[in-house]
Amino acid sequence: MEALALERKAEQNRELRERLLQLKKERNAIILAHYYQRDEIQEVADFRGDSFLLAQKAAQTDADVIVFCGVHFMGESAKILAPNKTVIIPDERAGCPMADMVNVDGLRKLKAQHPNATVVTYINSSAEIKAETDICCTSANAVRVVNSVESDEIIWVPDKNLGHYVQQNTDKKMIIWEGYCNTHDMLTVKDVEEMKAKYPNAEFVVHPECRPEVVALGDFVGSTTAIIKYCKESDKKEFIVGTEDGTGYQLRLDSPDKTFHFASKYLVCPNMKVNNLKKLVKALETMQPQIYVPNDVADKARLSLERMLLVK
């Protein structure tokens, strides 16, 4: 029975992939997939990457339609940087709990309390929050961005774990918002120590969205893209991975001769995983759900993204 079900699924996926190719041509569409997406989506994407790299791709492409397989704020970033393109996502329920942990009123209050502070916002945030921001950053360039601003005082939103990591690498005073990524924050020291005992020869690579005490155990700390690059170039053959399990697709693709153990079976973002191949095809057929960002919000948010692009 199981073999039959798998065969049926494979056949269905083949049909969906054929339909997708046809629709992409008809619509002049490009498919962008975040590294945390299901394998079946990463397989058909024109570009795979982290949220910022994909937003940049969105701005550079000559496609008319961008299908963003990620979460809502990523689609917004693409729309902000490519306002004349149609941006659709496979499932509008793909939100980000961390992005929802910061609100405009709260941020405005904090700005009023610290009028000399520069607001640095992690790209994992809504368009409205980016519009209240001086400069955005990613996990890859967070330290560089914070150190590039003139002010000695930084309001940092929304991820306290990444904020703590940046704080270790700057002399600036940081006022840190209390948000976090549900998925990365679940990883505990106990999880990592158990894995290290089980795989003593493996290196532990970890994302700075994890808790500070977990990050402190890392042999390498970096963004998703940095982790993938590090594992590819390393002469080590075995890794314990402290980030979302979708990353395994690219890790295994780049390094088929290496072994990757995810540090916990709970490193799965439910929001990233609501997208699937069927929904992706349907989104292109119906051209829904579309991402809209009001012009006034988009214009302000674009400034904070463009300032980040200037940081070398």
Read off the pLDDT of each residue in 8-15 and give the average, rounded to a whole number. Answer: 89
The CA distances from residue 146 to 106, 114, 135, 137, 283, in Å, are: 21, 16, 9, 8, 38
249 is in an annotated binding site: no
pLDDT digits (tens, 9 = 90+) for 269-289: 999 999 999 999 999 999 999
92 is in an annotated binding site: no
207 is in an annotated binding site: yes
Indicate the average pLDDT of the chain: 95
125 is in an annotated binding site: no
CATH superfamily, region 1-96+273-286: NadA-like (3.40.50.10800)
51 is in an annotated binding site: yes
pLDDT digits (tens, 9 = 90+) for 32-83: 999 999 999 999 999 999 987 887 888 899 999 999 999 999 999 999 999 9
Please report the pLDDT score of residue 157 as a whole number: 98
- pTM, two decimal places: 0.94
CATH 3.40.50.10800-classified regions of the chain: 1-96+273-286, 98-180+296-310, 183-269
pLDDT digits (tens, 9 = 90+) for 140-187: 999 999 999 999 999 999 999 999 999 999 999 999 999 999 999 999
Residue 93 — pLDDT band, cuts 50, 70, 90? very high
Structure tokens given for 232: 């590819």
pLDDT digits (tens, 9 = 90+) for 83-92: 999 999 999 9
Which stretches of 114-211 are DSSP H helices?
127-131, 142-148, 160-167, 182-185, 189-198
CATH for 98-180+296-310?
A: 3.40.50.10800
150 is in an annotated binding site: no
How far, in Å, CA of 56 to CA of 48, rounded? 12
pLDDT digits (tens, 9 = 90+) for 214-237: 999 999 999 999 999 999 999 999
Please report the pLDDT score of residue 6 as a whole number: 86
CA atoms within 13 A on the CB side of 82: 24
96 is in an annotated binding site: yes
How far, in Å, CA of 111 to CA of 109, rounded? 5
188 is in an annotated binding site: no
Please report the pLDDT score of residue 76 as a whole number: 95
Sign of the alpha-carbon torsion through 277, 242, 229, 136 = positive
Sheet holding 86-88, edge to edge: 47-49, 29-34, 65-69, 86-88
CATH superfamily, region 183-269: NadA-like (3.40.50.10800)
34 is in an annotated binding site: yes
271 is in an annotated binding site: no
pLDDT digits (tens, 9 = 90+) for 237-269: 999 999 999 999 999 999 999 999 999 999 999
209 is in an annotated binding site: yes
304 is in an annotated binding site: no
259 is in an annotated binding site: no
CA atoms within 13 A on the CB side of 80: 29
